[in-house]
Structure 1
Amino acid sequence: FLWFLGDIGYADDSFIHSGAYVQFDYEIAYNEFMEQIEPFAAIKPVMVLPGNHEAECHSPNCQLSSTKVHQLSNFSAYVHRFRMPYDESGATSNMWYSFDVPPIHFVNIDTETDYKNAPNDSYTPFTSNGNFANGGSWTEWLEADLDKVDRSHTPFVFVGGHRPIYSVTSCDSNGNPADDSANLQAAIEDIMYSHEVDVYFAGHKHSYERSYPVYKAAKESDSYDAPRAPVHVVTGAGGCDEGHDDDSKAVNASWHVMHDTSRWGYGMIVADETSFTWTQYDAATDTAIDTFTLKH
């Protein structure tokens, strides 16, 4: 299957990059993206989770229409265009859910809304985002979901969210997560650590990064053999009109292994009951640029 970690097609920014400032381009861009993925989506499951670019239509055409600005706010297009197994995993909507592909349990979370100090990005003054947890937080669901994992069936656990916790471009000089990354760390790091999550995968940054096993901004080990803390992978280099991230202020944190902002790429996972291997590839050449194997 294919796993998209948010910012699915950048339909909200299409009016900027196409120059269609007056035209209603949001649904056109979404439809074009869906048509582009159709050849493989017809034969392979495509699993998605929300990013900040799924939040709303904020083009001038939408902002000037009271109907469009409300109907296409608060992740409406994302929620209605995709059907993820949320009900089957005890969640309330496509915004968070989980599924098994043995030997891995995959958990998908919403880093945009419904937890303390969530970013709740909104570019319109007329709408607000969130309240998918009926006034609560999806972190309660996350803990309950991880409590139920059967490690004899799925010995590995991956959590995916759009925003990273550990990135060399969103931490202070000592490697401590900053701003939105710090808020996400406060919400889920202890939960992931106590439930022995193996990897946290994120996007958002237009780059590729890999960490050592890390907890509370401290490198737990140089080894990927049965680590106690999660490894953090930022695989946000799938390509977009905004270009690569600026890494001029990147920090050389102790937990940092690999950081690449020069190539667009994709990752692949190969797993069995005792180990898995993650490999990041250069999309232009299909050559590997980074790999690691984690063993239990």
Structure 2
Amino acid sequence: MELKLKIILLLLLSLTTILFICATVRAGEEVEYLRPPPRKAFRLPWDPKPSSQPQQVHISLAGDKHIRVSWVTTDKSSPSIVEYGTSTGKYSYKAQGESTKYSYVLYRSGMIHHTVIGPLQDNTVYFYRCGGEDPEFQFKTPPSKFPVTFAVAGDLGQTGWTKSTLDHIDQCKYDVHLLPGDLSYADYIQHRWDTFGQLVQPLASARPWMVTQGNHEKEYIPFVVDEFISYNSRWKMPFEESGSTSNLYYSFDVAGVHTIMLGSYTDYDDYSDQYRWLKADLQKVDRKKTPWLVVLFHVPWYNSNEAHQGEADDMMTSMEPLLYAAGADIVFAGHVHAYERTRRVYNGKPDPCGAVHITIGDGGNKEGLARKYKLPQPEWSVFREASFGHGELAIINSTHASWSWHRNDDDEPVRSDQVSITSLIDSGCSSIRVMN
């Protein structure tokens, strides 16, 4: 009798355990993902280098079939030359560039070199060295035709989560990195620009990094320092090549994608230089050559997070009609430290001829995540989550692309959102694509 009682109790215990597990799994489907806390600043080990050795090496696109190589040396007499070729250790070509430096209160930058090399072959690995000094670096040029893949991450900073994000991006087979503002989080402490350059060098020296400014690049001291002197000196983008007069906004082409980088922190009203440049740039777009139109800026226009509500309303009022008339496909923004993806939207409402807006300001900043979202969720908002991560935009052909967002989950990249996006090229929206 005692044995039967034990068996019954054991069965009841097993049944209770099973029911508890099932209830936990079901509850887990409804309970919000438990996000890890912010991580401390990431510190690179001290590694003194010769004054002429290139540091903080990064590359960017500089017009058709050209790449701009940027680096810093503490030796102010170091030449701004880049030697390069398609075989390791064999440099068939050499290019001469320019150098600059800046002062910021008591800080004195090293020599910041910018050298444009090319013309280059598409989809080809090049080996190069800067200033006639080792080490040798290598990069791969983007393809001239589809498919093409972009890695996307904003608001990076220099924390443990930043390192995790960069490690995950390094696992991605991508051609160009897009960064919608807030790079180093130096916040007036200039040596943090140097440490950021060292942190991103392994990736930024191997694939083009195309960036635009965020609020943390704005380091203004009235009557003393220009607000973007650090950013403009270190991260020169192809603004001149795209007919812009400011490093804060520009455009470039990759394969069949025309990408526009706008400035949330420079004038954007109907009478501004940026507005006039954007209108002229959009009028030059040939959708037969570049069927995809992608736009980046820092402050999101569509944001259901409680953080930074309304900050971009004026810019949106001024510029959204231009992007809508031009048939912009995808708009990336940062600033809000969380992830959100919308439907195609225009003027605050779902619209099949509007752009898909993606907020991806969750690269790993020091300020932590923006955890609170507005309720109810707007009808234009599809997916939102406050986690660190990065995105991958794989444009397959002239009409189809795949977007995925990868959460940094315990240092493993977990694909949390994925969607196929069809371009507007054959959408029937062409009747509204006329700008006066």
TM-score w.r.t. the length of structure 1 is 0.78
Hey, what's the Cα distance between the residues in 2 that align with 1:242 and 1:199? 27
**2:179 maps to which residue?**
4
**1:101 maps to which residue?**
254
**2:357 maps to which residue?**
232
Deviations 1:105-142 (A, max 9, x none): 1000001121249xxxxxxxxxxxxxxxxx83301111
Hey, what's the Cα distance between the residues in 1 that align with 2:186 and 2:309? 28
Question: Structure 2: 5+ residue runs without aligned partners?
Answer: 1-175, 424-436
Hey, what's the Cα distance between the residues in 1 that align with 2:238 and 2:375? 37
Deviations 1:227-264 (A, max 9, x none): 41111000111111100013154551110101101x21
Give yes or no for contact 2:344–2:356 (8 Å, CA) kept in 1. yes
Which amino acid is 2:288 matched to?
Answer: S
Hey, what's the Cα distance between the residues in 2 that align with 1:251 and 1:94? 39
Give yes or no for contact 2:304–2:373 (8 Å, CA) kept in 1. no
Hey, what's the Cα distance between the residues in 1 that align with 2:272 and 2:268? 8
Matches within 5 A, 1:1-296: 1-12=176-187, 26-56=189-219, 70-71=224-225, 73-116=226-269, 136-169=272-305, 179-220=310-351, 227-261=352-386, 263-271=387-395, 272-283=397-408, 284-296=411-423
Q: How far off is 1:274 after superposition?
A: 2.0
Q: How far off is 1:178 after superposition?
A: 5.5
Q: How far off is 1:81 after superposition?
A: 0.5
Deviations 1:67-121 (A, max 9, x none): xx723x311111110111100100012100000012211000001121249xxxx
Seen in structure 2, the aligned counterparts of structure 1 residues 178 and 286 have a Cα distance that, compared at 3 Å, is closer
Seen in structure 2, the aligned counterparts of structure 1 residues 47 and 204 have a Cα distance that, compared at 3 Å, is same
| Runs of 4 or more consecutive aligned structure 1 residues displaced over 6 Å after TM superposition | none
Deviations 1:173-211 (A, max 9, x none): xxxx96322112112110010000001110000000000
Hey, what's the Cα distance between the residues in 2 that align with 1:250 and 1:287? 26
Hey, what's the Cα distance between the residues in 1 that align with 2:288 and 2:373? 44
Hey, what's the Cα distance between the residues in 1 that align with 2:293 and 2:239? 17
Q: For residue 201 of structure 1, give the secondary structure of its aligned residue in structure 2.
A: strand
Hey, what's the Cα distance between the residues in 1 that align with 2:268 and 2:360? 23
Q: For residue 273 of structure 1, give the secondary structure of its aligned residue in structure 2.
A: coil
Which amino acid is 2:246 matched to?
Answer: S
Give yes or no for contact 1:201–1:234 (8 Å, CA) kept in 2. yes
Hey, what's the Cα distance between the residues in 2 that align with 1:96 and 1:103? 20
Percent identity over paired residues: 33
Hey, what's the Cα distance between the residues in 2 that align with 1:32 and 1:94? 22
Hey, what's the Cα distance between the residues in 1 that align with 2:239 and 2:358? 24
Hey, what's the Cα distance between the residues in 1 that align with 2:258 and 2:361? 21
Give yes or no for contact 2:210–2:237 (8 Å, CA) kept in 1. yes
Q: For residue 29 of structure 1, give the secondary structure of its aligned residue in structure 2.
A: helix
TM-score w.r.t. the length of structure 2 is 0.54
**1:19 maps to which residue?**
none
Q: Bigger shift: 243-252 or 79-88?
A: 243-252
Q: Bigger shift: 198-207 or 238-247?
A: 238-247
Question: Structure 1: 5+ residue runs without aligned partners?
Answer: 14-25, 58-62, 118-134, 172-176, 221-226
Q: How far off is 1:292 after superposition?
A: 1.4
Seen in structure 2, the aligned counterparts of structure 1 residues 251 and 96 have a Cα distance that, compared at 3 Å, is farther
Q: For residue 260 of structure 2, give the secondary structure of its aligned residue in structure 1.
A: strand
Aligned length: 245
Which amino acid is 2:212 matched to?
Answer: L
- RMSD (CA atoms): 2.1
Seen in structure 2, the aligned counterparts of structure 1 residues 250 and 244 have a Cα distance that, compared at 3 Å, is farther
- The structure with more strand, counted as a fraction of residues: 2
Which amino acid is 2:326 matched to?
Answer: H
Give yes or no for contact 1:114–1:137 (8 Å, CA) kept in 2. yes
Q: For residue 167 of structure 1, give the secondary structure of its aligned residue in structure 2.
A: coil
Hey, what's the Cα distance between the residues in 1 that align with 2:412 and 2:230? 34
Seen in structure 2, the aligned counterparts of structure 1 residues 157 and 248 have a Cα distance that, compared at 3 Å, is closer
